[in-house]
Each structure stands twice: as structure tokens, then as C-alpha cells.
Chain A
Amino acid sequence: MNFFQDIKKGYERKRLWKRLAVLELKSRYQGAVIGSFWIVLTLILKVFMLSLVYTMVLDKDFKNYVMFLAIGILTWNFISAVIVSSGMVFKKATNFMLEMRLPQSTFVFQNLYREVISLIMYQLFAIPLVIFLKGWSFVSVVWLWALLGYVLIVLNAFFVNFWLGWLATRFRDIQPMLISVIMVIFLVTPILWPPPPEYANSLYFQLNPIYHLLELIRAPILHNQVPVMSLQVGVGLLAFNFLICVIFYPKVENKLVYWL
């Protein structure tokens, strides 16, 4: 089986990975009164609490800052969840993978589907919030670029899930490292704070791929702009992640199961 066949065969098992993803989400909130709605509630609480503090600290306008934070943090939640969960994508599937030969992509699809459901639930809060704060006149066709941005982010996440999943399964230092690194990335990327205008074009931001992924969504929605540079970075990242997977798949195809 080559990488493309794996993806095709994994996709064909969609009833399995969709069911597993939904059960996984439900089991996280097993016994909770409001169940999976906690996904949205956690985001709402986070955005409002942080907005209260940071509008004071950064001396920003509350309305604009809440929008900036909401859109940024929901996209970041998706990106960080994908990166951290990549480390466990195959490890979690040990029971299945040691019982029968299944396409590896089955579990990547499962992981991604679960996170995409969360992302859609986040939007149920974020989009109405923006419209509520700015009115219908703020909605623009340029927002469609954000949709394309999400497609790029999800595609990147798909391939990152593969190679980071392989790496973390083989090298046990990767998973704890991912958890530490993601915290550092959160602090050095403009998520809580907008980049100062005089430094917006500095290499510090331009060389941070996560900044560009966030801009894919923030620029069209918040500034009505098409983020050309960020789109180029997003496509470049996609090509990189895809190539890594194509090159390494034949090397890990039969070995992955020994590392679980």
C-alpha cells in the first residue's frame, strides 16, 4: 500500500472514523450536564475573561479586541489541538492497530474530524459575536478567503497529523516536547496581543508560520483584506508537509505497529 492508497482506503472507512471521533468527543464530557457544549462555553469564558484583562493591560478598545481575540484564539485552539493530539494519534489506536491491519489514515481522519467538529462549534460563537458587535454591514465577500484559509489549515493539519504522529510514536520525547513547545509558540505568536504596527513586517512575525495561519482567518474577517503573503506561506507549508509524508510513508508503513 502506498501513501495515496492508504488515504483512499482510510477515507472509505469513514463510518468507522466518524463514529470513533464522535464517541471520543462525547466520552470527554461523559456525565457533564451540558455535555459537548463545554467546547463552546470554555471558549466563551476564555475570550471574555482574557478580554477584560488584556484590554486594560494593552489599552485597547474592548469591541475590537474581543473580535481579534475570539477569531485568533479559536483558530489557535484548532491548530494547537491538532499539533498536541498528533503525538497520540496512533498511540491511541494501539488496540485497533494490533488487532487488524487498517489504513493509518483511518486514525488521522478520526483525529481531524473530531477537531473539525470542535472548530465548527467554535464558529457558532465567533461569527455571531462579530456580527453582533459590528452589524450585518461588516459581513463581506472577502470573508470567503477565510473559508479558503480554513481549508488550507485543515489540509496542513491532516499531513502534520501523519508525520508528527509517526515521530512521536517512534521517539517518546516528542509528545512531552510538543506540550512544552506549544505553550512557547502561544506566547510568542500574536494571539493575545496584536502585532505592533511598526513591527508587523518584521522577520520575527514573517518567519512564524503559525502567525501566517492565523492571518489567513483574521485578515479577511477583521480587516477585509486578502492575506496574499499568508496564503503563499500556507500553500508552501502544505507542500512541505505533503512531501514529508510521501517520502517517509514507505519507511514507516510496516514499522509503526512495532513502536506502539
Chain B
Amino acid sequence: MTRIRLKNVNFSYRYFPSISGGLLRSNAGLRSHLVFENFNLDIHDGDRVALLGVNGAGKSTLLKIMAGVYTPERGEVISKGKIYSFFGRSIGVMPQLSGLENLEIRGLLLNLPDEIIQNKIKQIIDFSELGEAIYRPVSTYSVGMRTRLTFGMLMFVEADIMLIDEGLGAGDKFFLKKAQKFIESLLDSSKILVFANHSMELLKKFCNKAVLIDAGEIIQFGELDKVIHLYNHLRHLELKTNNAK
């Protein structure tokens, strides 16, 4: 049975200070910011969870903890199943390399055999309709083309648990329909999806549950529509307060 469970997790984000300040002033030292304290979350087979929260709520950090990139200071992360993580468009794609080289690197990162990589690359080129542009550096791509390449990279996935953060933009409508069909087929084979995205359109298409987090705490976890409703309500209140100020 596929599952991800976070049990009493404590996690502080560490970072180097900003470069602002005087040119001769010391910027030394590593700062720490507590993100999660006694955090608990349990995701099971068949859950396609939308991760909601304002910027800085801890969504990306939570995904990185689930993926094993960050190790919590306290508590446990128990995962059963093969994890595939896909974090951010700039992370998934190296702009100085061609689309083809990026696909190759992605396949190698996932440690797939050469034969499978080559077969998948052919499928991805057909799917993404990038044509000859696949041989050009990604830095010359339009936003739409990058989105197509990023979606294409998902074709390499053979995992039980998919963790996706922001990497997928909405793209053009025609392509989105095509991508939706593909992701649905992909999700049939993966048992858990945790998806952070600002596009409600995408979240509604791909998820059946949602978790709303704020300042490292779960506000609500449950049915997608209910959580989205609460999220919109809270955002509305926040906007009102900000306007009143």
C-alpha cells in the first residue's frame, strides 16, 4: 500500500542572509527559520492532494521533506512507494542545453536504462510537438514551449508517489487538453499525487483532495471543493484587511 506519513515533524529552514546592506558590512552566518513544529499529515493510496497556501506558507518545503531532500530535525517521514519529485520549471530545465539534452539528463537523473530513455524521448518529441526546436537551447524557448517540454519530462515517470511543485504552467488551451489526458493516464499508474500550483484550473482537473497550510500549520485537509472554498474565503478576508490598512 502506497502511503506518505509525516509524524510530529519539526523543521527549520536555514538560509544565508540577503546581500542587502553595506558593501563592507559582514553578511556572514547561517540564519534559521522555524517552518514546521509537530506537523502531522497522512496521505494514502488514491489521494490526489492539492497543496494550498499563500506564498511562504511552507508548501515547497513540505514537498521537499516528503521527497527526502530535507531531513526533519525531529519526527519521522514514512513513505511507502517509489517517489518522483518535480520541483519548479527552472529546476527541471537547464537553459544552456538543448531540449533534447535536457530530456536525456532527466532520464539519467531517474536512472532509467538508455534504451527506455531513447524510446521515451521519441514519444516526448511527438507529444510536445516541439519539432526541430528540440535541438535548440532551452534559453531560446518561449514560455509555452518550456511548458510543453516540462510536461514532456513527466512522460519519464514511473512512480507510485508524484510530488509536483509549480513546474507546470497552464500553457495553451489545446495543449492543456492533451496534457490533461496524459496526466490522467499517468495518475492511473501512480497512487499518490501531491500537487502545489497557483492555477485552480489545474488543481481542479488533477486533484480530489486538498490541504490548506498557513505558517506551517494545517488549516484544513479534506475534500477539494471545501478546502478551495475556505482558501478563497481566507484570501478574500486578507485582501480586505490589507485594503483597509
List residues of chain A with CB under 8 Å of any chain B CB.
13, 15-16, 19-20, 23, 27, 30, 95-102, 170, 172-173, 254, 257-259
Contact of A23 with B97 at beta-carbon distance under 8 Å, contacts A99-B91, A100-B85, A173-B28 already known: yes
Q: Is the CB of B16 within 8 A of A97?
A: no
Is B24's beta carbon under 8 Å from chain A?
no
Q: Is the CB of A98 within 8 A of B91?
A: yes
Residues of chain B in range 99-129 having any CB-CB distance to chain A below 8 Å: 101, 104-105, 108-109, 111, 114
Q: Is the CB of B28 within 8 A of A172?
A: yes
B114 surroundings in chain A (CB, below 8 A): 15
23 contacts between A and B (CB under 8 A): A13-B108, A13-B111, A15-B108, A16-B105, A16-B109, A19-B104, A23-B101, A27-B96, A27-B97, A95-B94, A96-B109, A97-B69, A98-B69, A99-B85, A99-B87, A99-B92, A99-B109, A100-B85, A100-B109, A102-B109, A172-B27, A173-B28, A258-B70
Closest to A13 in B: B111
Q: Secondary structure at chain B's binding surface: helix, strand, loop or mixed?
A: mixed
B94 surroundings in chain A (CB, below 8 A): 95
Besides A13-B111, A99-B85, 9 new A-B residue pairs in contact (Cβ under 8 A), listed by A number: A16-B105, A23-B105, A98-B91, A99-B67, A101-B67, A102-B109, A172-B16, A259-B14, A259-B30
A19 surroundings in chain B (CB, below 8 A): 104-105, 108
In the complex, A248 Cα to B30 Cα: how many Å? 19
In the complex, A100 Cα to B67 Cα: how many Å? 7
Is B86's beta carbon under 8 Å from chain A?
yes
A259 surroundings in chain B (CB, below 8 A): 14, 16, 30
Cβ distance B110 to chain A, nearest Cβ, rounded Å:
9
Contact of A101 with B68 at beta-carbon distance under 8 Å, contacts A15-B114, A96-B109, A172-B28 already known: yes
Cβ distance B13 to chain A, nearest Cβ, rounded Å:
8
A173 surroundings in chain B (CB, below 8 A): 28
Q: Secondary structure at chain A's binding surface: helix, strand, loop or mixed?
A: helix
Closest to A95 in B: B91
Cβ distance A135 to chain B, nearest Cβ, rounded Å:
45
Cβ distance B87 to chain A, nearest Cβ, rounded Å:
5
Is B71's beta carbon under 8 Å from chain A?
yes
Is B55's beta carbon under 8 Å from chain A?
no
Closest to A20 in B: B105
In the complex, A107 Cα to B69 Cα: how many Å? 16
Closest to A171 in B: B28
Cβ distance B167 to chain A, nearest Cβ, rounded Å:
10
